Amino acid sequence: MSITPVTSVVPLVLGLLLGAGIGLLVGRLAARAAQARLQAELDKERAVHAERLKVYADAETKLRDTFQALSAAALETNNRAFLDLAETRLREARQQTAADLDARKTAIEHLLAPLAKTLDQVDREIKDAERRRGESTAALLTRIASLDAAGQELRSQTARLVDALKRPGVRGRWGELQLKRVVELAGMIEHCDFEEQQTLPADERRIRPDLIVRLPGGKHVVVDAKVPLDAYLRALEAPDEESRSALLADHARQVRAHLSQLASKAYAAHVRPSPDFVVMFLPGEMFFSAALEQDPSLIEFGVNLDQRVVLASPTTLIALLRAVAYGWQQQAMEENARAISENGRNLYESVRKLADHFDNLGTRLKSSLDAYNQAVGSLEGNVLVKARKFKDLQAANGAEDIKAIEPVDRVPRMLQAPELTGGLPFQGEESV
């Protein structure tokens, strides 16, 4: 490959650059001429367009005025026609609506007639209910007033009762009455299963229990109802809770002290035979629960080996006496069973003797029948045969014939039952 010299390339490059510059200059001149021509055409078009716009504006103004005039006339005509048509339609609609309203009014009246009747009935019932409510309210107020009066009377009586219970004699008598009511409720008839207010001799003093209940088997249970209630009664009138709690604690201490005092009397040593305990009766459930609430160990303290005192409220004492009454019933049933057994044994002996009599009677009847048959045989074999010969010898003409006498071939029925003949012992006697 040959290499071109530099001196030969430079004129060639310069020629090419010169040609390009001349071409560029010519292009720019042509563009400017075309631009000037286009600008002149544009100005001409703008002038023509402005003239057209002016013509269009004038035409639009005329057209607007004409349209406004035509539209106003058309609108007036249309409005008049529309108003006439609307008035006609409105009149027809009003007439039709009036007819529909009358029909609907009639239908609604028919529909609402039962409702109106029901509303009238409801209104009457409401008035009756109001009247009855007023009467009930008046009766209730009267009842409340009577209850208030009864409450006042009860409060007054309760106050009098509390005042009365503050006196030891009245309180003791009330406890005895409560004890008697408990005994009656338990079915322990007075002076039948218990002895009331019996005085017992002691070493240097005389003790008097409130109740001695006789148990089946000859034993006894001692019941004492002399319980201190001063602190409890004062607690009912306490002004505040602190004072009330203190008085209830005193009540529990008084019950504990009386329990120890009752244990020291040693009723079991003086009432013999008796169980090795004594019943301390509190004549009200509230006294019992109040003491246990303040001192829960009272029951355990009473039943230990040193005291041997059982605390009892009316409920628990009724249960105890019911158990005693049940024991008496069982003893009565046992005694009745013994009496029935003895009566059965006596009846058996009587029946046995009667059977002996019947056996003797049967034996004698049998002997009588044998003697009768022997007599009949002798009569028929010896006597009647000879007597009939008188009939054959014409010695007894006109007399009736002697009837034949038949012997009795029946024998009396002898006793066959082993109990009546002594063959077996009376079964009921062994089972008793």
291 in Cβ contact with 282 (< 8 Å): yes
Of the candidates 332, 23, 347, the one whose C-alpha atom is nearest the C-alpha of residue 192 is 332
What average pLDDT does range 60-78 have in this prediction? 81
Give the pLDDT of residue 427: 47
- Whether the CB-CB separation of 253 and 285 falls below 8 Å is answered with no
Cβ burial 60-94 (10 Å sphere, 16+ → b, else e): eeeeeeeeeeeeeeeeeeeeeeeeeeeeeeeeeee
pLDDT exceeds 70 at position 108: yes
The span from the CA of 254 to the CA of 282, in Å, is 12
Q: 338: Cβ–Cβ under 8 A, 6 or more apart, which residues?
A: none
Tokens of 223: 């019941």
Task: Write the pLDDT tens digit of every residue in 13-67.
Answer: 666 777 777 777 777 788 888 888 888 888 888 888 888 888 888 888 888 888 8
Q: How confident is the model at residue 305 (pLDDT cuts 50, 70, 90)?
A: low
More confident residue, 403 or 194: 403
pLDDT for 274: 67
Q: Which band of pLDDT confidence, cut at 50, 70 and 90, is reported for residue 296?
A: confident
